[in-house]
Structure 1
Amino acid sequence: MAKVQLANVAVLDNPSPFLNPFQFEVTFECIEELKEDLEWKMIYVGSAESEEFDQILDTIYVGPIPEGRHMFVFQADPPDVSRIPVNDALGVTVVLLTCSYRGNEFVRVGYFINNEYTDPELRENPPTQPQFDKVQRNILGDKPRVTRFKINWDDGTGSTTNGAQDSMEEQTMGDSAQEASSSKLGFSENTQNSMEVM
């Protein structure tokens, strides 16, 4: 059984200007003391076409973790706009939160993001070069996709890097119009049963 259970993730300051920091309030339960740190990452998916445009916005280490319920706010600067392909600057993309223990990812939370101009004229006639200072970011905070991986919590041996793919459970995003874009979430299609909503 997983020693850490993700209880809730709340999206803060949303919607917000594209250039504002990302903020997530993360709540998790630890069923017994963890002697080593949890590694949390926030990843912005710059393009559905290639992982080379993914940007790790921040990595933080939390620990050691005593038994009980814990909460923290994970804040990170927005992505480097120079690394986002022009054709992928606007529209739907994804932000991922991942957590690993001893180098093994055991949970991943993905959110669709819609980036668009707030000015109706810019929406109708978008400039050739995106004007990110006029773009609004809207994270679909009520439709997260949560994927859990089974890992070996007791020692570093016998665990598959990035979680055991054959022991993965996935919760879908729900009935969303953007589900056709779900490949951006980077989850394996070898899923088993649906999970409870957080």
Structure 2
Amino acid sequence: MSIVSLLGIEVLNNPAKFTDPYEFEITFECLEPLKEDLEWKLTYVGSSKSLDHDQELDSILVGPVPVGVNKFLFQADPPSPDLIPASELVSVTVILLSCSYADREFVRVGYYVNNEYDSEELRENPPAKVQVEHVVRNILAEKPRVTRFNIVWDNENADEYPPEQNVEEDEEEEDEEEDEEEEDEDEEEEEAAEVEEVDENDENKDEEVDVDVDVDEDVEIEEEAPEKDEDVEEVDGEEDIAIEEDIETDEEGEVEEKAETPVDAVQA
């Protein structure tokens, strides 16, 4: 854990001329008493192709640092244009504001800086030789890039970096986790298969029950059908007999009537 924490940086006099000094209001917090001072430093990156053109604009020692929240004003001189390549003098560059303790850097803040001419005419038709007096800078204060580093503070026995874990142990732990995940997946697949088998068995049982019911119904229907046919035949037989008897009776009646007719006629 860092004993000093950067809370905020306010960029002042921005935008400004290229030749104006840089001004920053810095706020930080100190959690424990420090034996040494803090060193703040501002660096101007003169070229994106080589570190030889970097310029340390200014540095300041802050201390003794009391525990709590602290604030101070940091001013730095502008860069020397003679140390910057002419092709990169009017362009986009970077400034770095860093803080160190006991020559160990623990925080660095980077800002993009846009250098351009102050008139539209010079921007459209730049002169062959850079006119520094007409160059203005604009620091993109809304988009800082903050980088923090772990360092040893006053405790000399403390580790500068977190302890490294054994790679083999990490690999073994990863293998064990993978094996456990595979076992869990296999168990889930087996459970799913068992559930499917149970569902299939239940479906087969339901089908068998339905078939048995259908067969019984067919048998009952077939058994009932012949009984109905016999009843119908018996009824038909009785009707036929009744009809035949009626016919015979009628015929006999007619015969008798025919036989009696001549006698009656003779008597008459």
Q: Structure 2 length as normaliser, TM-score?
A: 0.58
AA in 1 matched with 2:50:
S
Q: Which structure carries more strand by proportion?
A: 1
1:64 has 2:64 as partner: yes
RMSD: 1.8
Q: Distance in 2 between matches of 1:102 and 1:77?
A: 24
CA pair 159-24 structure 1, distance change in 2 beyond 3 A = farther
Asked if structure 1 preserves the Cα contact closer than 8 Å seen for 2:44 and 2:57, the reply is yes
The 5-angstrom pairing of residues 42-121 of structure 1 reads 42-121=42-121
Q: Which residue of the partner structure matches residue 8 of structure 2?
A: 8
How far is 1:31 from its partner? 0.7
Asked if structure 2 preserves the Cα contact closer than 8 Å seen for 1:15 and 1:139, the reply is yes
CA pair 157-120 structure 1, distance change in 2 beyond 3 A = farther
Q: Distance in 2 between matches of 1:140 and 1:156?
A: 39
How far is 1:120 from its partner? 0.6
CA pair 157-89 structure 1, distance change in 2 beyond 3 A = farther
Q: Distance in 2 between matches of 1:34 and 1:153?
A: 8
Q: Which residue of the partner structure matches residue 137 of structure 2?
A: 137
How far is 1:91 from its partner? 1.4
How far is 1:154 from its partner? 2.1
Asked if structure 2 preserves the Cα contact closer than 8 Å seen for 1:104 and 1:159, the reply is no
Percent sequence identity over matched residues?
Answer: 56
Q: Which residue of the partner structure matches residue 171 of structure 1?
A: none
Q: Which residue of the partner structure matches residue 31 of structure 1?
A: 31
Counterpart secondary structure, 1:79: coil
CA pair 147-88 structure 1, distance change in 2 beyond 3 A = same
Asked if structure 1 preserves the Cα contact closer than 8 Å seen for 2:47 and 2:93, the reply is yes
Q: Which structure carries more helix by proportion?
A: 2
CA pair 155-127 structure 1, distance change in 2 beyond 3 A = farther
Counterpart secondary structure, 2:5: strand
How far is 1:130 from its partner? 1.1
Q: Structure 1 length as normaliser, TM-score?
A: 0.78
How far is 1:64 from its partner? 1.3
How far is 1:159 from its partner? 7.4
Asked if structure 1 preserves the Cα contact closer than 8 Å seen for 2:7 and 2:28, the reply is yes
Q: Distance in 1 between matches of 2:103 and 2:34?
A: 14
Asked if structure 1 preserves the Cα contact closer than 8 Å seen for 2:34 and 2:154, the reply is no
Q: Distance in 2 between matches of 1:73 and 1:84?
A: 27
How far is 1:128 from its partner? 1.6
**Structure 1: gaps (5+ residues):** 168-198
Q: Distance in 1 between matches of 2:78 and 2:155?
A: 35
**Structure 2: gaps (5+ residues):** 165-268
CA pair 80-53 structure 1, distance change in 2 beyond 3 A = same
Q: Distance in 2 between matches of 1:158 and 1:86?
A: 47
Is the radius of gyration larger for structure 1 or structure 2?
Answer: 2
Q: Which residue of the partner structure matches residue 125 of structure 2?
A: 125
The 5-angstrom pairing of residues 135-174 of structure 1 reads 135-155=135-155
Q: Distance in 2 between matches of 1:150 and 1:120?
A: 47
How far is 1:32 from its partner? 1.1
CA pair 156-119 structure 1, distance change in 2 beyond 3 A = farther
Q: Distance in 2 between matches of 1:158 and 1:4?
A: 16
Counterpart secondary structure, 1:150: coil
